[in-house]
């Protein structure tokens, strides 16, 4: 028998990387060093040139009086306000376009995408013409077309009146509105809180049904949280809900909600252009669902609308959501074209600030920071939603 000799302990290596890894690390450090050197050189050169031309740097100008008019603003604004508040008003105008545009483009794009797959020949051909036409025309040309079309509408005295209380003229689209004060906002907050609570409760009811197979009705919770809770808050606070109808006085309208021609043209252009791309995303997502799902639903005698809503679209979302995120980002960034028609978003406000103060670097940096923040917020939300609906492998 041979005695078992213990294996000698392995030698310790001070550098636990091989030659190839060391070479790769060297090139990475070299590239990072070159990039850092270029950034330092550009920064130093910029500071030197600004000092030579006696141009001050920094964001102290944000506290000075802006003195610029903003015709169409979601927030209250006065030219005597500071540049900081002017930037905030510009950001609100950008979000006003982006948020509403995303919602409308999603609805319209989904309907057009489903229409392209319709068995009705005329409907599918019209949807195809819509998609192919709008996708092939540059967005700036579409924006200018809608703006010129808005300017060609009749004056306020001869405004079109498609329905009671709605006017369309070269002053924009005028709609009836409900004045929102602090009390009304409390009621709306209660409604949002009730919807969130109902969503959580409904998901728990679905989980319980999946466990024991017993269906549990959710409508009592919807009635109590979504309807009764806001109604109770409204009664307790004594909120009065009135509709403010627009009326023509002189050469303009008074009351109601006015959508300026610049805002209305920008919104229409962004929604129609982006919806054409969303329609193709929805169509490809629906076609990615196996044909067997359609056949099984047809064998059960389900209606096509129920089939799409409950079976096909939930599966297609896993294909639709990732490219849809890119379209949301594109719509948000394309809103900067508003400067071409005079709508004062954050880019327009920054351009005016730049011309008045000469703070070019700071103004451009603020624009970049705003769009970067909005884009990261959209990406974070869409990635979170995509992870929620993704298939979990076992």
pLDDT mean over 45-61: 74
Quick one: pLDDT at residue 11? 55
Query: Where is pLDDT greater, at 139 or 249?
Result: 139
- Asked if 156 and 172 touch (Cβ cutoff 8 Å), the reply is no
| C-alpha distances in Å from residue 338, one per residue of 70, 139, 264, 347 | 14, 11, 11, 8
Euclidean distance between CA atoms 25 and 41, whole angstroms: 24
State the Cα torsion 187-195-304-272 to the nearest 10°.
60
The mean-pLDDT minimum among 122-136, 163-177, 204-218, 276-290 falls in: 204-218
How do residues 65-88 score in pLDDT, each as one tens digit?
Answer: 888 888 888 888 888 889 999 999
Euclidean distance between CA atoms 98 and 392, whole angstroms: 32
pLDDT mean over 9-17: 54
The mean-pLDDT minimum among 30-39, 171-180, 347-356 falls in: 171-180
Indicate if the pLDDT at residue 61 is higher than 90. no
Burial class (CB in 10 A: 0-12, 13-18, 19+), 237: middle
Q: Which DSSP string do the residues of 41-107 spell out, in sequence order? A: HHHHHHHHHHHHTT---SSGGGGSB-----SS-SS---TTSBHHHHHHHHHHHHHHHHHHHHHHHHH
Quick one: pLDDT at residue 279? 94
Euclidean distance between CA atoms 360 and 357, whole angstroms: 8
Indicate if the pLDDT at residue 26 is higher than 80. yes
SS3 state of residue 120: coil
Quick one: pLDDT at residue 2? 52
- Asked if 203 and 218 touch (Cβ cutoff 8 Å), the reply is no
Quick one: pLDDT at residue 269? 95
Q: How confident is the model at residue 110 (pLDDT cuts 50, 70, 90)?
A: very high
Quick one: pLDDT at residue 25? 84
Quick one: pLDDT at residue 245? 85
Residues contacting residue 317 through CB under 8 Å, at least 6 positions apart: 285, 389
Quick one: pLDDT at residue 297? 79
Euclidean distance between CA atoms 63 and 69, whole angstroms: 17
pLDDT mean over 18-38: 85
How do residues 280-321 score in pLDDT, each as one tens digit?
Answer: 999 998 888 888 887 787 787 777 777 877 788 888 888 888
Euclidean distance between CA atoms 215 and 218, whole angstroms: 9
pLDDT mean over 349-363: 87
| 151: alpha, beta or left? (left if phi > 0; alpha if psi -120 to 50) | alpha
Average pLDDT, the chain: 85
Euclidean distance between CA atoms 346 and 359, whole angstroms: 15
Euclidean distance between CA atoms 34 and 36, whole angstroms: 5
Indicate if the pLDDT at residue 10 is higher than 80. no
Q: How confident is the model at residue 34 (pLDDT cuts 50, 70, 90)?
A: very high
SS3 state of residue 166: strand
Indicate if the pLDDT at residue 14 is higher than 50. no
pLDDT mean over 46-52: 74
pTM equals: 0.80
pLDDT mean over 194-209: 86
Smallest Cα–Cα separation from 348: which of 370, 325, 377? 370
Q: How confident is the model at residue 4 (pLDDT cuts 50, 70, 90)?
A: low
| C-alpha distances in Å from residue 23, one per residue of 18, 27, 32, 213 | 9, 6, 14, 61
Across 16-20, 40-44, 120-124, the highest mean pLDDT is recorded for: 120-124
Strand ranges across the sheet with 257-259: 160-163, 166-169, 172-175, 257-259
Q: How confident is the model at residue 394 (pLDDT cuts 50, 70, 90)?
A: very low
Quick one: pLDDT at residue 329? 94
pLDDT mean over 41-67: 78
β partners of residue 166 = 163
Q: How confident is the model at residue 117 (pLDDT cuts 50, 70, 90)?
A: confident
Euclidean distance between CA atoms 143 and 148, whole angstroms: 9
Cβ–Cβ contacts within 10 Å for residue 302, how many?
15
How do residues 235-270 score in pLDDT, each as one tens digit?
Answer: 888 888 888 888 888 777 887 888 889 999 999 999
How do residues 158-180 score in pLDDT, each as one tens digit?
Answer: 888 888 888 888 888 888 888 77
The mean-pLDDT minimum among 46-50, 80-84, 364-368 falls in: 46-50
Quick one: pLDDT at residue 3? 53
**At the topology level of CATH, where does 83-152+259-389 sit?**
MetI-like fold (1.10.3720)
Half-sphere exposure of 80 (CA within 13 A, CB side): 0
């Amino acid at each position: 028998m041979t005695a078992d000799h213990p294996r000698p302990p392995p030698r310790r290596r001070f550098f636990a990387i091989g030659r190839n890894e060391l070479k790769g690390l060297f090139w990475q450090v070299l590239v990072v060093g070159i990039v850092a050197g270029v950034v330092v050189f550009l920064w130093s050169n910029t500071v030197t040139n600004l000092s030579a031309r006696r141009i001050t740097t920094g964001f102290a100008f944000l506290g000075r009086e802006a003195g610029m008019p903003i015709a169409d603003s979601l927030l209250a604004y006065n030219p005597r306000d500071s540049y900081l508040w002017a930037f905030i008003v510009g950001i609100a105008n950008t979000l006003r376009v982006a948020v509403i545009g995303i919602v409308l483009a999603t609805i319209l794009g989904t309907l057009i995408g489903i229409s392209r797959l319709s068995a009705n020949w005329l409907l599918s051909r019209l949807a195809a013409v819509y998609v192919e036409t709008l996708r092939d025309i540059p967005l700036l040309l579409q924006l200018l077309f809608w703006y010129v079309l808005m300017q060609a509408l009749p004056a306020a005295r001869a405004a079109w009146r498609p329905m009671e209380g709605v006017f369309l003229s070269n002053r924009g689209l005028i709609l009836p509105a409900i004045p929102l004060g602090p009390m009304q906002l409390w009621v709306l907050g209660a409604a949002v809180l009730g919807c969130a609570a109902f969503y959580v409760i409904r998901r728990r009811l679905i989980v319980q049904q999946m466990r024991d197979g017993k269906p549990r009705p959710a409508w009592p919770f919807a009635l109590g949280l979504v309807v009764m809770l806001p109604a109770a808050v409204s009664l307790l606070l004594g909120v009065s809900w009135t509709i403010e109808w627009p009326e023509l006085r002189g050469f303009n309208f008074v009351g109601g909600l006015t959508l300026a021609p610049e805002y209305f043209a920008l919104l229409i252009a962004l929604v129609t252009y982006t919806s054409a791309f969303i329609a193709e995303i929805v169509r490809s997502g629906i076609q990615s669902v196996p044909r067997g799902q359609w056949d099984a639903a047809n064998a059960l005698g389900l209606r096509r609308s129920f089939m799409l809503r409950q079976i096909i679209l939930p599966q297609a979302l896993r294909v639709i959501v990732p490219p849809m995120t890119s379209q949301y980002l594109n719509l948000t960034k394309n809103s900067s074209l508003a400067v071409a028609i005079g709508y004062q978003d954050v880019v327009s406000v920054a351009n005016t600030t730049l011309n008045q103060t000469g703070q070019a670097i700071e103004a451009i940096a603020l624009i970049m920071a705003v769009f970067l923040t909005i884009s990261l917020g959209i990406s974070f939300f869409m990635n979170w939603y995509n992870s929620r609906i993704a298939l979990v492998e076992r």
